[in-house]
Structure 1
């Protein structure tokens, strides 16, 4: 298999993958180095493929549904419950965004779709003694969400209001 064929195969895999695919796993599968896979992903992106890098690997965001950004504010201790509320409503938490006074907008990819994903994320945060980006902004942050439909989004907004974390314009 040549490099172009490998990139085609990787693209097809990403389109049909139910979970993120890591560069390490792809490298083992194609018997190449991780750096070769990273280069392949860069070339696929340059060719117009919408590939997102997450902490767990590469994904191609699914079409359909609706994408929205919600502003929230809460303590670090409330993070798990906030994320559970989002995935329990059927939404995928694509990222977290904070506005930094010096660096501007800081965005971190999350791609969380289930309680399992949330638990894995929280475990990684704890095992690395990492702090949420929202600590930079006293708890205020945005999440980009993929919601399956307007009902799921409405239900999520209600849940976040009940929790007292949703920030809304007056």
Structure 2
């Protein structure tokens, strides 16, 4: 189960429960660590879900929205990774994943769940350690991200800013 699906399931489980659900219970049901649940709850709160922590577990009030998300196709150099990711998180978005479709090797996807500059720096440290290379390097810089935000308006602003910086690949750019 990928991050977005898991977070939607967390909302569904908490909303459908008559009593608070503990992080331990959610981690067992969803097959992930309790720490992943804590991180997912933080991401959901950042998206304005009213999740309340009690001594007995999590409760949710006034759930009325789904998490808006969008898949974007982008292109940039290694030196622009930081700017691209910071652009998304600074405008209120979350970079859920990165994926490529390689003509020979197929589909590769890595979950990121980056929601702030500290997490951007953590990723850059891992990449700069030399133990891994960005997936985009397998496709000469072209790759995709799933991004989420609290509303479609925020997603639109993020995409406009990425386009302004020359990172976003749109259908119009592909045709020209």
**TM-score (structure 1 length as normaliser):** 0.66
Partner of 2:87: 85
Residue 104 of structure 2 corresponds to residue 102 of structure 1: yes
Partner of 2:36: 58
Given candidates 85, 102, 113, the residue that maps to 2:115 is 113
**TM-score (structure 2 length as normaliser):** 0.64
Change (3 A) 1:148 1:101: same
Partner of 1:139: 141
Gaps of 5+ in 2: 1-21, 50-65
Change (3 A) 1:154 1:102: same
Given candidates 13, 16, 30, the residue that maps to 1:45 is 30
The superposition leaves residues 116-170 of structure 1 with CA deviations (integer Å, 9 ceiling, x where unpaired) of 1101111121124421000000111000011111221111111111110100012
RMSD over aligned CA atoms reads 2.4
Partner of 1:28: none
Aligned residue runs from structure 1 range 63-78, under 5 A: 64-78=66-80
The 8 Å contact of residues 69 and 155 in structure 2, kept in 1 or not, is answered as no
Residue 13 of structure 2 corresponds to residue 11 of structure 1: no
Partner of 2:152: 150
Shift of 1:9: 4.6
Secondary structure, aligned partner of 1:58:
helix
Partner of 1:168: 170
Structure-2 separation of matches of 1:145 and 1:11? 27
Number of residue equivalences: 127
